[in-house]
Amino acid sequence: MGARLWVFVPTYNEVGNLEKVVRATADALEQVVPGDWGILVVDDASPDGTGELADRLAEELPQVEVLHRAGKEGLGKAYLAGFSYGFEHGAEFVIVMDADFSHDPDHLAAMIAAAQTSDLVLGSRYVEGGEILDWPRLRRLLSRFGSVYARAVLGVQIHDLTSGFRCVRRRVLETIEPSTLEAQGYVFNIELTYRALLAGFTVTEIPISFRDREAGQSKMSLPIAFEALMLLPRLRWQMSGRRREQLRSAGSQARSRPRFPRLNRRKNGTNGSGHDAVDQDLPERRSA
Ligand SMILES: Nc1nc2c(ncn2[C@@H]2O[C@H](COP(=O)(O)OP(=O)(O)O)[C@@H](O)[C@H]2O)c(=O)[nH]1
Ligand SMILES: [Mg+2]
């Protein structure tokens, strides 16, 4: 299936959430980019039957596909598999979101709109208009502290570096050497964003209302979160000097390469930031 927008949801034991998330996501996408979307579930052999549920949904809904992986390898590997699958199947944009309703499919329209002029769009809890509705106090504090700390250590202006709700444009993935992203969950997201920034891509945060998961349990834990904090100074150090220069130059080459067929090209071709505003635009939202 050659859709230009893929949404992928990594799953591990999400049997209580997946069907509702997939149906709500399918409805939202059909409104925004009719006929030009796919949904991919990346399941790591969940013992609770999430993979079988995903198969049933894929049988019923032709735009839904499932990637079964042999066992739990962690979120970073699942992210890589999902991005690769989307881009191998013709995607120009890949959105990743949790399968647990923390990331509301109602935000997809705003995310897709922002992706028209950005290389990487982050659903952000920490910009004006963003919020966390019902997380326990400790989790909220930890996430907030982690974001401020990551921002300071890396010296960047992004407010929600760990956000797992994001839209990545193909050329970002082609540039940042994803196979060398070895971290899991939080650091994976931070590092992908950091590399995109160093490569000179436009990164935009849009406000989201983040809710606690509807069912099941988080797979994140305090040790994973602390591990993330420890890894950041090393990340900054690794991405300095020659590596930084290589990324910058790969990014500028990626932005100057001629694009493949341009669709819905607007008359004035840039957004004022020096980047192409509308290459590979998605169709405008269908009017009600
Ligand atoms: N495929 C796969 N998905 C995972 C893995 N770990 C977590 N997930 C999924 O990744 C998303 C984020 O994990 P979650 O436990 O919600 O983390 P939290 O949002 O930080 O609490 C959810 O959809 C999980 O089901 C994994 O090892 N493999
Ligand atoms: Mg979650």
pLDDT tier, 281 (very low <50, low <70, confident <90, very high otherwise): low
Q: Is there an atom of ligand 1 within 6 Å of 42 CB?
A: yes
The sign of the torsion formed by the CA atoms of 23, 17, 54, 68 equals positive
User: Could you tell me the distance, in angstroms and rounded to a whole number, from the CA of residue 79 to the centre of ligand 1?
Assistant: 10
Domain presence at residue 272: no
How much is the pLDDT for 214? 83
Residue 95's domain is classified under what CATH number? 3.90.550.10
Q: Is there an atom of ligand 1 within 6 Å of 43 CB?
A: yes
Domain presence at residue 288: no
Q: Which helix (H) or strand (E) holds 43?
A: strand 37-43
Q: In this structure, which residue's CA is closest to atom 11 in ligand 1?
A: 98
Q: Where are the alpha helices (DSSP H) in the chain?
A: 18-32, 50-60, 75-88, 108-115, 137-154, 170-175, 185-198, 222-238, 241-256
Q: What is the pLDDT of residues 2-54, one digit of tens each?
A: 799 999 999 999 999 999 999 999 999 999 999 999 999 999 999 999 999 99
Q: Is there an atom of ligand 1 within 6 Å of 100 CB?
A: yes
Domain presence at residue 195: yes
Q: In this structure, which residue's CA is closest to atom 24 in ligand 1?
A: 11
d(CA 205, CA 166): 9
Tell me: pLDDT of 262 over 80: no
Q: Is there an atom of ligand 1 within 6 Å of 93 CB?
A: no
Q: What is the pLDDT of residues 107-139, one digit of tens each?
A: 999 999 999 999 999 999 999 999 999 888 888
- Full residue range of the structural domain in which residue 89 is found: 5-255
Instruction: Work out the number of other CB atoms within 10 angstroms of the CB of residue 246.
Output: 14
Domain presence at residue 284: no
Q: What is the pLDDT of residues 149-193, one digit of tens each?
A: 999 999 999 999 999 999 999 999 999 988 888 777 788 999 999
Range 92-109 average pLDDT:
96
User: Could you tell me the distance, in angstroms and rounded to a whole number, from the CA of residue 22 to the centre of ligand 2?
Assistant: 15
Number of structural domains, the chain? 1
Domain presence at residue 266: no
Domain presence at residue 271: no
The sign of the torsion formed by the CA atoms of 86, 184, 180, 125 equals positive
d(CA 73, CA 92): 26
Average pLDDT, the chain: 88
Q: Please give the number of the atom of ligand 1 that sits closest to the Cα of 217.
A: 15
Q: In this structure, which residue's CA is closest to atom 21 in ligand 1?
A: 218
Residue 30 CA, chain-centre distance (Å), reads 19
Ligand 1 pocket test, pick from 219, 220, 222 with the greatest ligand atom count within 8 Å of Cβ, gives 219
Residue 209, token pair as written in the block: 């209302």
Q: Which residues contact 39 (CB under 8 A, 6 or more apart)?
A: 6, 7, 8, 9, 22, 25, 26, 29, 61, 63, 64, 65
d(CA 205, CA 94): 16
Q: In this structure, which residue's CA is closest to atom 14 in ligand 1?
A: 218
Domain presence at residue 216: yes
